[in-house]
């Protein structure tokens, strides 16, 4: 509890930005192209209500998730107002966000009885607003109009496809899914196979659910989850294999960085889980950005 200020800080960094973005973007699109405003806000609210109804989120978390999702959708609309008739929400960040939601919701419920015995099961009331902000906030920040304008204007992206800069945000979402899936599925699968995870720093065996402990099956599940989110993101944005591989690599890098932070700073009591998740998604975005800077683009 002494590190609760870190959760509040994450929320303070993410939520005001997302809320302000949604208010401004809703007004602009309502004036210039009202279907975009209706789709973005309506679908985000539906996703928030779904999380609340399924018990995956508290009311505050559902509101926070809806605000971040709407911000992401607005930030990834690639059509001008004159092209409103061809606007499709499935060509925005809604698709990878939905993939993250489904993957985490399913794996969180996987083997819940065993997790309760271990004391590692998620709270029955669902995720808090800070947890949602920690997992989705970086994607919203790096997908903002300001960040995308900077990326699009960068000399080393001058000849890249318009969708490729979105790989940075998709990488953050891929890491969020990979982290949850590797942890939740890894605990259950390791118990079923009779194996124990090992600390990423020392390779010594550890109890399931220990911060920084990784297992082969959990890691493979996390890598697969990152690939799923990256894949649907590439399809949604039309970014092709380049966007897929860059965002997948970012998500996997963030997955291992999360375990490293858990084994070191979190175990020492310097960081709480929300701070670790926020920094891990940021590392995924940074790694994807680095790949964009050094790799040749189509």
- Can you tell me the distance from the alpha carbon of 235 to that of 94, in angstroms, rounded to the nearest whole number? 12
Q: What is the pLDDT of residues 27-78, one digit of tens each?
A: 999 998 888 899 999 999 999 999 998 888 899 999 999 999 999 999 998 7
pLDDT value for 197: 85
What's the whole-model pTM score? 0.92
pLDDT bucket at 81, cuts 50 / 70 / 90: very low
pLDDT value for 185: 82
- Can you tell me the distance from the alpha carbon of 276 to that of 257, in angstroms, rounded to the nearest whole number? 9
State the average pLDDT for the chain: 87
Residue 1 has pLDDT above 60, yes or no: no
pLDDT value for 48: 94
Of 19-23, 32-36, 158-162, 185-189, the one with minimum mean pLDDT is: 158-162
pLDDT value for 194: 67
User: Which distant-in-sequence residues (6+ apart) come within 8 Å of 128 by Cβ?
Assistant: 7, 58, 60, 61
- Report percent pLDDT > 90 for the chain: 60
Tell me whether strands 213-214 and 198-199 are parallel, antiparallel or unpaired: antiparallel
SS3 content of the chain, % helix, strand, coil (to 5): 75, 0, 20
Name the helix (H) or strand (E) containing 214.
Answer: strand 213-214
pLDDT bucket at 119, cuts 50 / 70 / 90: low
Residue 85 has pLDDT above 60, yes or no: no
């Amino acid at each position: 509890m002494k590190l609760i200020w870190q959760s509040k800080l994450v929320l303070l960094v993410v939520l005001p930005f997302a809320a302000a973005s949604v208010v401004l973007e809703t007004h602009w699109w309502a004036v210039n192209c009202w279907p975009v405003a209706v789709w973005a806000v309506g679908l985000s609210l539906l996703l928030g209500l779904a999380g609340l109804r399924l018990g995956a989120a508290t009311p505050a978390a559902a509101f926070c998730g809806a605000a971040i999702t709407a911000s992401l959708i607005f930030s990834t609309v690639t059509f001008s107002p004159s092209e409103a008739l061809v606007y499709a929400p499935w060509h925005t960040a809604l698709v990878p966000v939905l993939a993250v939601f489904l993957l985490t919701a399913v794996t969180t419920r996987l083997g819940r009885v065993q997790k309760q015995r271990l004391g590692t099961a998620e709270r029955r009331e669902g995720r808090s607003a800070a947890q949602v902000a920690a997992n989705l906030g970086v994607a919203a920040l790096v997908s903002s109009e300001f960040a995308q304008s900077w990326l699009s204007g960068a000399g080393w992206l001058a000849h890249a496809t318009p969708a490729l800069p979105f790989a940075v945000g998709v990488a953050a979402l891929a890491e969020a899914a990979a982290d949850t899936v590797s942890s939740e599925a890894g605990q259950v699968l390791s118990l079923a196979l009779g194996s124990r995870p090992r600390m990423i720093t020392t390779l010594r065996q550890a109890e399931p659910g220990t911060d920084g402990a990784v297992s082969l099956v959990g890691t493979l599940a996390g890598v697969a989850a990152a690939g799923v989110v990256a894949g649907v993101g590439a399809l949604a944005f039309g970014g092709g294999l380049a966007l897929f591989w860059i965002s997948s690599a970012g998500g996997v890098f963030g997955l291992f960085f999360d375990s490293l932070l858990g084994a070191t700073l979190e175990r020492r009591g310097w960081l709480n889980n929300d701070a670790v998740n926020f920094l891990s998604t940021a590392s995924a975005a940074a790694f994807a950005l680095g790949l964009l800077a050094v790799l040749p683009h189509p």
